Protein backbone atom coordinates (compact mmCIF):
# COMPACT_ATOMS: atom_id res chain seq x y z
CA UNK A 1 0.00 0.00 0.00
CA UNK A 2 1.23 3.45 -0.85
CA UNK A 3 2.54 5.52 2.02
CA UNK A 4 1.52 8.78 0.37
CA UNK A 5 -1.13 9.27 -2.27
CA UNK A 6 -1.24 12.21 -4.59
CA UNK A 7 -4.36 14.34 -4.47
CA UNK A 8 -5.32 17.88 -5.42
CA UNK A 9 -4.55 19.20 -1.95
CA UNK A 10 -0.88 18.67 -2.87
CA UNK A 11 -1.02 20.71 -6.07
CA UNK A 12 1.03 23.91 -6.13
CA UNK A 13 -0.67 25.01 -9.37
CA UNK A 14 2.54 24.78 -11.40
CA UNK A 15 2.46 21.77 -13.74
CA UNK A 16 6.18 21.10 -13.92
CA UNK A 17 6.60 21.23 -10.15
CA UNK A 18 3.52 19.08 -9.52
CA UNK A 19 5.03 16.43 -11.79
CA UNK A 20 8.30 16.54 -9.86
CA UNK A 21 6.44 16.25 -6.55
CA UNK A 22 4.53 13.25 -7.90
CA UNK A 23 7.79 11.61 -8.87
CA UNK A 24 9.21 12.22 -5.36
CA UNK A 25 6.08 10.67 -3.88
CA UNK A 26 6.48 7.64 -6.18
CA UNK A 27 10.08 7.25 -5.06
CA UNK A 28 9.20 7.44 -1.35
CA UNK A 29 6.45 4.85 -1.90
CA UNK A 30 8.89 2.63 -3.78
CA UNK A 31 11.41 2.87 -0.94
CA UNK A 32 8.69 2.09 1.59
CA UNK A 33 7.58 -0.99 -0.36
CA UNK A 34 11.16 -2.19 -0.77
CA UNK A 35 11.77 -1.78 2.95
CA UNK A 36 8.55 -3.49 3.99
CA UNK A 37 9.08 -6.45 1.68
CA UNK A 38 12.56 -6.94 3.07
CA UNK A 39 14.56 -6.06 -0.03
CA UNK A 40 18.33 -6.26 0.34
CA UNK A 41 20.72 -3.46 1.12
CA UNK A 42 21.77 -3.03 -2.52
CA UNK A 43 18.21 -2.48 -3.68
CA UNK A 44 17.51 -0.04 -0.83
CA UNK A 45 20.77 1.81 -1.51
CA UNK A 46 19.90 2.24 -5.18
CA UNK A 47 16.47 3.66 -4.34
CA UNK A 48 17.85 5.96 -1.61
CA UNK A 49 20.56 7.26 -3.95
CA UNK A 50 17.94 7.90 -6.61
CA UNK A 51 15.78 9.74 -4.10
CA UNK A 52 18.67 11.92 -2.91
CA UNK A 53 19.69 12.77 -6.43
CA UNK A 54 16.16 13.54 -7.64
CA UNK A 55 15.49 15.64 -4.53
CA UNK A 56 18.56 17.73 -5.37
CA UNK A 57 17.36 18.17 -8.97
CA UNK A 58 13.91 19.18 -7.78
CA UNK A 59 15.10 21.68 -5.13
CA UNK A 60 17.47 23.22 -7.67
CA UNK A 61 14.59 23.70 -10.11
CA UNK A 62 12.44 25.48 -7.51
CA UNK A 63 15.39 27.63 -6.44
CA UNK A 64 16.14 28.57 -10.06
CA UNK A 65 12.61 29.91 -10.34
CA UNK A 66 12.98 31.79 -7.03
CA UNK A 67 16.03 33.52 -8.42
CA UNK A 68 14.56 34.13 -11.86
CA UNK A 69 11.44 35.81 -10.49
CA UNK A 70 12.89 37.36 -7.32
CA UNK A 71 10.76 35.35 -4.92
CA UNK A 72 10.63 37.20 -1.56
CA UNK A 73 10.64 34.07 0.67
CA UNK A 74 13.71 32.53 -1.01
CA UNK A 75 16.06 32.50 2.01
CA UNK A 76 13.59 30.82 4.34
CA UNK A 77 12.49 28.31 1.72
CA UNK A 78 16.08 27.38 0.83
CA UNK A 79 16.83 26.83 4.52
CA UNK A 80 14.11 24.17 4.64
CA UNK A 81 15.60 22.47 1.59
CA UNK A 82 19.07 22.44 3.19
CA UNK A 83 17.65 20.99 6.41
CA UNK A 84 15.94 18.18 4.54
CA UNK A 85 19.02 17.27 2.48
CA UNK A 86 21.08 17.14 5.68
CA UNK A 87 18.54 14.86 7.35
CA UNK A 88 18.31 12.47 4.39
CA UNK A 89 22.10 12.38 4.06
CA UNK A 90 22.32 11.50 7.78
CA UNK A 91 19.85 8.62 7.26
CA UNK A 92 21.88 7.41 4.33
CA UNK A 93 25.18 7.58 6.26
CA UNK A 94 23.62 5.69 9.16
CA UNK A 95 22.23 3.11 6.78
CA UNK A 96 25.66 2.61 5.19
CA UNK A 97 27.27 2.19 8.62
CA UNK A 98 24.60 -0.33 9.51
CA UNK A 99 23.73 1.33 12.81
CA UNK A 100 20.50 2.89 11.70
CA UNK A 101 18.32 0.67 9.57
CA UNK A 102 15.72 2.26 7.36
CA UNK A 103 12.71 2.14 9.58
CA UNK A 104 9.04 3.00 9.72
CA UNK A 105 10.05 6.20 11.56
CA UNK A 106 12.39 7.22 8.77
CA UNK A 107 9.72 6.57 6.16
CA UNK A 108 7.16 8.54 8.17
CA UNK A 109 9.62 11.40 8.51
CA UNK A 110 10.19 11.49 4.73
CA UNK A 111 6.53 11.34 3.81
CA UNK A 112 5.41 13.81 6.52
CA UNK A 113 8.17 16.25 5.64
CA UNK A 114 7.26 16.20 1.96
CA UNK A 115 3.53 16.60 2.58
CA UNK A 116 4.03 19.41 5.10
CA UNK A 117 6.61 21.18 2.96
CA UNK A 118 4.39 21.10 -0.12
CA UNK A 119 1.25 22.13 1.73
CA UNK A 120 2.89 24.71 3.98
CA UNK A 121 5.94 26.16 2.25
CA UNK A 122 5.63 25.36 -1.47
CA UNK A 123 2.04 26.46 -1.71
CA UNK A 124 3.12 29.94 -0.63
CA UNK A 125 4.71 30.46 -4.06
CA UNK A 126 1.70 29.35 -6.15
CA UNK A 127 0.11 32.76 -6.50
CA UNK A 128 3.48 34.49 -6.96
CA UNK A 129 4.58 32.09 -9.72
CA UNK A 130 1.19 32.15 -11.41
CA UNK A 131 1.33 35.93 -11.57
CA UNK A 132 4.76 35.66 -13.24
CA UNK A 133 3.19 33.38 -15.85
CA UNK A 134 4.49 30.11 -14.41
CA UNK A 135 1.57 27.69 -14.23
Between residues 10 and 122, which has the closer beta carbon with respect to Fe ion?
Answer: 122
Phi and psi at residue 2, to the nearest 5°: -70, 140
Q: Does 65 bind Fe ion (CB under 5 A)?
A: no
Among the listed residues 35, 48, 92, 122, the single contact to Fe ion using CB under 5 A: 122
- Cα–Cα distance measured from residue 32 to residue 95, given in angstroms and rounded to the nearest whole number: 15
The 3-state secondary structure of 80-111 reads: HHHHHHHHHHHHHHHHHHCCCCCCHHHHHHHH
Q: Of the listed pieces 8-16, 18-26, 38-46, 62-70, which binds Fe ion according to CB under 5 A?
A: 62-70
Between residues 21 and 92, which has the closer beta carbon with respect to Fe ion?
Answer: 21
Quick note: the x/- pattern for Fe ion over 101-120, rule CB under 5 A, is: --------------------
Nearest CA to 10 out of 117, 90, 130 is that of: 117
Task: Write out the residues near Fe ion by the rule CB under 5 A.
Answer: 62, 122
Amino acid sequence: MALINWNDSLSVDVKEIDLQHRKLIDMINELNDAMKTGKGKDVLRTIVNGLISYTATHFKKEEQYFEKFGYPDTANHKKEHVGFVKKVTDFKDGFEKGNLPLSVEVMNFLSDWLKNHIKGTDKKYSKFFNEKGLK
